[in-house]
Chain A
Amino acid sequence: MDKKTTIPFKIKIQNEDFDVSEETKILRENLTGAIVNFVGVVRGFDERNNSLIDSMTLEHYPGMTELEIEKIVKQSCERWNITGVTVIHRVGKLLPSDQIVFVGVSAKHRQNAFDSCNFIMDWLKTKAPFWKVEENNNQKKWVDYNLSDDEATKKWVV
């Protein structure tokens, strides 16, 4: 199958949790032989500041967030033979071990699904306008961006 940008994709920004098995079931309908799912989870520990967190709140730029994710998904479709993509990102207040983000990619063969999922996550982390604030003991701290996230995108530059 040729690479194309007309594959089914779903992008959702929501407060509610998501069900990975339900999302996987939807991706299985895309004439697929392989599905790769990534789930990002709230860490209860801030490694850079060596401190615990009570909760985390995510805000985003409605309208631009969806556009940026769509651009990334379309680039991924042009680059790999994939049959479907789902990106769900939660916003609002989340607790340690809560799910934050889901990226699921279906393809006929696994390597395309692995690479595409990895590509989408790397670019989402550096381009999609979300910001995290960590809360601990009634104090809040905006999370600093991570230079290693920028570094991670370099492997995709051809």
Chain B
Amino acid sequence: MVIKYFSWIKEHIGKSEELIELPDNVKNVSELINYLNNLNDDYKKVFVKKDLIKIAVNRTYCSVETKISNNDEIAFFPPVTGG
């Protein structure tokens, strides 16, 4: 699965994109966040601000309950500030 990060989230995690093999027990976004939080503290420092993080799966807004699979592209980003 491809995970993309934008804005300050990208800076905190230190990368704009990463490729991961989804473990069998990770079925939705919430479980993916738990999995990432266990990798290192950089993720924990980001996802502790979960109320400030928007999620997209395959370029469509979704929630933490959204089901995911290894072929998906998931993105984490702050509320948008364009225009």
Contacts and interface: CB of A to CB of B under 8 A. Distances in A.
A interacts with B: yes
Interface of A: 40, 58-61, 63-64, 67, 89, 100-101, 121, 124-133, 142-146, 149
Contacts of A131: 6-7, 77-78, 80-82
Given A61-B4, A126-B80, 9 more contacts: A64-B75, A67-B60, A124-B82, A128-B82, A129-B6, A129-B56, A131-B6, A133-B7, A146-B81
Interface in B42-69: 54, 56, 59-61
Contacts, number: 70
A36 B61 CA distance: 29
Given A59-B7, A61-B6, A142-B78, A130 B83 contact: yes
B6 A59 contact: yes
19 contacts: A40-B83, A58-B82, A59-B6, A63-B59, A64-B56, A67-B60, A89-B83, A124-B83, A125-B80, A128-B80, A129-B75, A129-B80, A131-B6, A131-B7, A131-B77, A142-B78, A144-B81, A145-B78, A149-B83
